[in-house]
Structure formats: structure tokens, C-alpha cells
Amino acid sequence: MNAKLAFLSAIGVALTLGAGSAIANPVATDAIAQASEKDAVVTFSCDQVDGQPVTLASIDRSGSVESRPVLNWDDAYFTSAEETEQICQQVASKLQSYYDNGELAELTLVAEDVAGEPTVCLEQEQDSGCSEGRVLFSFSNVSNPQFALNNIMEPEDRTTQVLRGDFKARLGFGFLPF
């Protein structure tokens, strides 16, 4: 299996809609084994790709860097391009902090209204929903945060159409050394 395919397979994404139906991608065991190297450095960053901000997860193994987009930001969901860039930077910083504190073994993004605002947060425990301490960001120009979250995810991570109900994106970070 080539390194890029192993890396992408190791991300493993499951989308859960409504009553808990899930679709999971297998995690490549060779990628996990490679990621457990002590000298591996994990970073979350906000970079520009084709003129748009993208939150990336990267792992550096002795100078060999692999990166994978987590969220592809869209100015249409925010008040300005500057706000989109700021939120991308803030999300990368929050994800880095969660990772550095050992709180990112599984990343489950939840999109729902919190205090009347369309919000995306990290779910701490299964089916716990959003909590104030785990909010990643709020959309500005969105009436349906579930639809918007699905749209800013990587195309290959969109395994189902969002029609109604709660929306969760469970991203497996097995390729990162924990």
C-alpha cells in the first residue's frame, strides 16, 4: 500500500445521522505503527489552498511530512474572508491544544444550535452533544449548521447526504501518535 493511500485510509471517517447509523473506513495498521515513532511531531495549522483557508493535520516523521485536510473553509458561511481566516486559525489552535493535552484520540465534530447560534463543537463523550467548553466555532451566515459542516468537510469524508436530524462527523486520528 503506498504511503499516501495508507495515510488517507488511516484517517477513517464515519458520519452519523439521526438514530446512530454509521459508516466507517478501516484504519490501516501499518500507518498507525509508523505513526507511533517517538520523533513524530503532530501539528494542526491553517494554510491557504487555492485561495481558501484549510485546517490541516500534519505529521512530521524525521523530515517526512504528511498532511491531510480536516476542514475546507468557505467564505459564504461567514461575514467576511477575514473572519473565515480568523476562525480557521482559531480552530487549528484549539485542535493543537486538544492534541497536546491528550484529548484528541477521537475527534467527533457535532453541528447544532447552541444558544441560538449555529455551532460546531467537539463531542467529549458519545452522544453528549455540544458543551460550552468544547465549542470550536460558530457559523455566521448559516441556518443549517449540519449542512454547512458537511459542505466544509473533505469530499471523501462526505459519505452521506444531510437531510435532517443531528449531524456528527466522527474523524479517526489513528494515524497520529498518541
- Residue 157 inside a domain? The answer is yes
Give tens-digit pLDDT for 21-56.
222 223 333 444 444 556 788 899 999 999 999 999
- Residue 24 inside a domain? The answer is yes
- Residue 178 inside a domain? The answer is no
Q: What is the pLDDT of residue 127?
A: 63
Q: What is the pLDDT of residue 76?
A: 95
Q: What is the pLDDT of residue 160?
A: 54
Domain count, the chain: 1
What is the mean pLDDT of each successive set of 10 residues along the chain, which is 178 residues long?
35 28 30 54 94 93 88 96 98 94 79 89 74 90 89 75 53 53
Q: What is the pLDDT of residue 62?
A: 86
Q: What is the pLDDT of residue 99?
A: 87
- Residue 23 inside a domain? The answer is yes
Give dist(CA 163, CA 4) in Å, integer.
Answer: 32
Q: What is the pLDDT of residue 129?
A: 74
- Residue 139 inside a domain? The answer is yes
Q: Is 0.85 surpassed by the pTM of this model?
A: no
Q: What is the pLDDT of residue 158?
A: 66
CA distances from 102 to 33, 74, 95, 127 (A): 18, 29, 11, 20
Domain carrying residue 123 = 3-172
- Residue 177 inside a domain? The answer is no
- Residue 30 inside a domain? The answer is yes
